């Protein structure tokens, strides 16, 4: 019984970590690393912020093709 409970707790922790990692990538600008594997880091809210992180010749900034802007909040009518 104790092993089963620990397994459930561990699985829940993995799911929570996966969800928070996925949402962390939803930013409009990405840094493409030219020196290593061409990996993308999409953690930037503006192009200027991304360019400051390039460090000279480390990479270049591109718009995140997977970026989905949050929908505007809907207003509920007042009663």
* Integer Cα distance of 62 and 32 in angstroms: 7
Is the model's pLDDT at 73 over the cut of 70? yes
The predicted structure's pLDDT at residue 78 = 76
Averaged pLDDT, 41-54:
91
Domain count of the fold of the chain: 1
Residue 34 lies in a domain: yes
Sheet of 40-44: strand order equals 40-44, 29-33, 59-63
Is the model's pLDDT at 17 over the cut of 50? no
Residue 30 lies in a domain: yes
Is the model's pLDDT at 13 over the cut of 90? no
Range of the domain at 60: 21-66
Residue 37 lies in a domain: yes
Phi-psi region of 24 (alpha: psi -120 to 50; beta: other; left: phi over 0): alpha
**Confidence (pTM):** 0.55
Is the model's pLDDT at 18 over the cut of 50? no
């Amino acid at each position: 019984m104790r092993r089963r409970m620990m397994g459930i707790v561990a699985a829940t922790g993995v799911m929570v970590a996966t969800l928070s990692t996925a949402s962390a990538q939803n930013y409009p600008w990405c840094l493409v690393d030219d020196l290593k594997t061409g990996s993308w880091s999409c953690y930037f809210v503006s192009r200027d912020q991304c360019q400051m992180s390039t460090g000279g010749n480390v990479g270049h900034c591109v718009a995140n093709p997977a970026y989905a802007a949050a929908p505007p909040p809907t207003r509920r009518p007042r009663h």
